[in-house]
Structures are given as C-alpha cells and as structure tokens.
Amino acid sequence: MIDTLNQRHAMPGVVQFVEGRGGLPKAVVSNPHAGAEVYLHGATVTAFQPRGQAPVLWLSPQALFQPGKAIRGGIPVCWPWFGPHPADPSKPQHGFVRTMEWSFVHAGCLPDERTELRLHLQDTTDTRAMWPHAFRLELRVLVGRSLEVTLTTHNTSNHEALVSAALHSYFAVSDIHTVQIDGLDGRDYIDLTAGRIIRRHAGRAVIDQEVDRIYIGTEDACLVRDIAGKRILQVGKSGSRSTVIWNPWSAKAAKLADFPDDGFHTMVCVETANAGPDTRQIKPGASHALTQTIEVMEAAV
C-alpha cells in the first residue's frame, strides 16, 4: 500500500507516504512554508507546523492508531452527525467517517509552493446501514503558512440529506489557565455539560473547568490567545455556523483511555462545525463545503 501510494502520489522532497503509528499509512508534507501529516485513517490531519513555530495541533501521546478507533488529536472529521446520533445511541459518536479508511486521490503543488492533498470517501453497504444516503466526501488540505482544510459533502442520493459536521481541531497551548478565546462575545451556546441548556456568552472565553459548548450562529473567526505560549492562533472558517469549544478538564480526562490525565492543561478544541440548529439540509445532487483556516498570527499576544 505504501509503495503504491508513493508510486502514484509522492512528490520528491515535498510529499511522501510512510507507515505511521499502528502501521497506518500517512502522508508527510514538507514545503518552504510548513510541515504537516495526514493519516488516511479518518482523513485525520495529525500535525501542522509552520517553519519557525511550535506545533499547532495537539496530538494525545496516548492516541490509538487502530482500525475502528478515532485518533485523539489533530483534526478528526465528525460527519454526518455531531455528538451522539440524535435517535439511536448505539450508532457511533460523531458519525462514522473519522474511523474509516479514506482514499488518497491527489497531491499537488500550487504556484506559491503550498501543497495540496485530496482524500475521498464514498458510501458503502456498511455506511448505508448507519445512514441511508449515497454520498461522496472530499477532504482538501492546503499546507502553507496557514493550514486550510475543506470538507465537501456531495449528496449523490436522490433525496435531501441532513448533515451535521465538525472539523474537530485540537490545538496545542502552553497553559490552558492563560488561554483566552475571542470571537464568541454575545453568542448563544448550547451547554453540553448542563443538559443542553442555552446560555448567552459575554466577553472572551476562558477555560477553568470542563467546557463543552456548541456556539450557534457563529460565522466569524476565533482567536485563541495563548498568553503563556506568547502566540495567537486564528481559526477562520466558511460554510460553518457553529463553533464548538471543548476541554474535558481533569475528571473527564481521567475517564478517557486515550487522553493523559494532565493532557487538558495543554490543549483546547475550537471546532469548525454545523451542529444542533445549524445542521445543513443538502438537496439531491447538491454539495456543501465546510472550510477551516488555521494561522499563527505574527502579532504579539
């Protein structure tokens, strides 16, 4: 498999395929702007590091790289539902594509030396048993000074499909106690730690306990101010009306086998999503693109 991927898609010095953890294939990108890694398992981006910067994405040191398991960290893809299935709790949390093996279809170089990767996935008998629609998904990853990830849903069935989705990005921070998140002032959120009660947010968001929130009707970028790390991450988006903020804090972290007990100190999820009331209706033959753009701002904190 690795040999075939390299024969078809490798770009000397820029993109190569190697056996990653658990023997799973991954694409390794290195260009003048940044380095990045993408597993075909779940089409999960597991690393992004602009030149001269510390890693931007958090990856759990206890992450499992196994068929049937989602990778804990990086940017897992939640689709076609977010969180538990709305009607059937026996179906997998966050949908089923984050644990499927995607096909790698294209690697290319843009004139400005950014690197483009494309991965595809389409419906199978197994997916139709969980979700009764034909579909084609594409994940396009553009690696430059910023990382741009676009998940495009093509509804190839002959009926309308309801789709919730998230680019479930985990960010590395120096100390969660000093993190502030801008961009959510005045927005309503569904508090998943308090029975889905809706609350209005004011000011910057800080994380000083378990936080699990779907901010609805949010189309603007967020700034993650990592004061201790002396940097700001900008998380921009399009085609997305929800922003999910998640940090499990100590008690929940202790219950997650693939999450270190103290891991919550150095991560925060700021997810580009369409969830809850922002679920999308996609007409037969239509497509929808969800884009997340991650950038380290040069400005001081």
Active-site amino acid positions: 168, 271
Site for ligand BG6 in 70-99 (CB under 6 A): 70, 83, 93-94
Nearest approach in angstroms of CB 243 to ligand BG6 is 11
Contacts 24+ apart (CB under 8 A), 131-135: 131/80, 131/81, 131/95, 131/96, 133/80, 133/157, 133/159, 133/161, 135/80, 135/161
Nearest approach in angstroms of CB 8 to ligand BG6 is 31
CA-closest candidate to residue 244, choices 75, 96, 25, 87: 75
Nearest approach in angstroms of CB 259 to ligand BG6 is 8
Contact pick of 37, 212, 226, 278 for ligand BG6 (by CB under 6 A): 212
CA-closest candidate to residue 237, choices 218, 213, 216, 221: 221
Q: Determine, following the binding rule CB under 6 A, whether residue 192 of this chain makes contact with ligand BG6.
A: yes
Q: Which two tokens stand for residue 278?
A: 């922002």
Q: Which two tokens stand for residue 103?
A: 């096909």
C-alpha span between 215 and 244 (Å, rounded):
6
Pick between residue 80 and residue 83 the one whose CB is nearest to ligand BG6.
Answer: 83
Pick between residue 21 and residue 145 the one whose CB is nearest to ligand BG6.
Answer: 21
Do 46 and 55 contact (CB within 8 A), yes or no? no
Nearest approach in angstroms of CB 78 to ligand BG6 is 7
Q: Determine, following the binding rule CB under 6 A, whether residue 244 of this chain makes contact with ligand BG6.
A: yes
Residue with tokens 């931007």: 56
Half-sphere exposure of 200 (CA within 13 A, CB side): 2
Q: What is the 3-state secondary structure (H, E, C) of 169-185?
A: CEEECCCHHHEEEECCC
Pick between residue 3 and residue 88 the one whose CB is nearest to ligand BG6.
Answer: 88
Contact pick of 246, 267, 274, 278 for ligand BG6 (by CB under 6 A): 246
Applying CB under 6 A, what is the total number of residues that bind ligand BG6? Answer: 10
CA-closest candidate to residue 233, choices 284, 166, 182, 288: 182
The DSSP code for 100 is S
Q: Determine, following the binding rule CB under 6 A, whether residue 168 of this chain makes contact with ligand BG6.
A: yes
Q: Determine, following the binding rule CB under 6 A, whether residue 41 of this chain makes contact with ligand BG6.
A: no
Strand partners for 232: 225, 297
Q: Determine, following the binding rule CB under 6 A, whether residue 117 of this chain makes contact with ligand BG6.
A: no
Nearest approach in angstroms of CB 14 to ligand BG6 is 31
Pick between residue 271 and residue 295 the one whose CB is nearest to ligand BG6.
Answer: 271
Do 190 and 217 contact (CB within 8 A), yes or no? no
Do 176 and 264 contact (CB within 8 A), yes or no? yes
Q: Determine, following the binding rule CB under 6 A, whether residue 64 of this chain makes contact with ligand BG6.
A: no
Pick between residue 77 and residue 147 the one whose CB is nearest to ligand BG6.
Answer: 77
Pick between residue 99 and residue 153 the one whose CB is nearest to ligand BG6.
Answer: 99
Nearest approach in angstroms of CB 268 to ligand BG6 is 11
Return residues touching ligand BG6 (CB under 6 A): 70, 83, 93-94, 168, 192, 212, 244, 246, 271
